[in-house]
Amino acid sequence: MAVNKLIHVGFGNIVNSGKIIAIVSPDSAPVRRLVSQAKNDGRTIDATQGRKTKSVIVMENDRIVLSALLPETIRGRALAEPGADQEE
C-alpha cells in the first residue's frame, strides 16, 4: 500500500505523490502536445510562477502539473523518507 505524501514542486506548490503517474521532461513533441491539449481543456495546473517549465507531472485525475524544478529533483523528493527536510 502506497503512503500518500505531499511533495514540494516549487514556489510553495505541493502535490500528492500518491497520485503521480509520471514525471517527464517537456522537451519531446508528444509531451508538448499533451501539455497543449491539457491547456486547451483546462486540465493544466501551472506551478512555475512564470519561469521555464522543466518538468511535467502527469496526475491520476487527468491533470497535468507544470513545474520549474527538474524531473530528477521531484523524483528525489517523492522517494525521500517521510519527515526528511524538503526545503528549496
Task: Confirm whether 85 is domain-assigned.
Answer: no
What pLDDT score was predicted for residue 81?
Answer: 74
Task: Confirm whether 40 is domain-assigned.
Answer: yes
Number of separate domains in the chain:
1
Q: Which of 47, 62, 63, 58 is nearest to 25 (CA)?
A: 58
Residue with cell 516549487: 10
Whats the size of the chain, residue-wise?
A: 88
What pLDDT score was predicted for residue 17?
Answer: 93
Q: Which of 31, 81, 41, 36 is nearest to 61 (CA)?
A: 41
pLDDT in tens, 26-59: 999 999 999 999 999 999 999 999 999 999 999 9
Provide the domain limits for residue 51. Answer: 20-79
Is the model's pLDDT at 1 over the cut of 50?
Answer: no
Q: Which of 67, 64, 63, 58 is nearest to 88 (CA)?
A: 67
- At residue 44, the 3 state secondary structure works out as strand
Instruction: Identify which has the larger pLDDT, 56 or 2.
Output: 56
pTM: 0.87
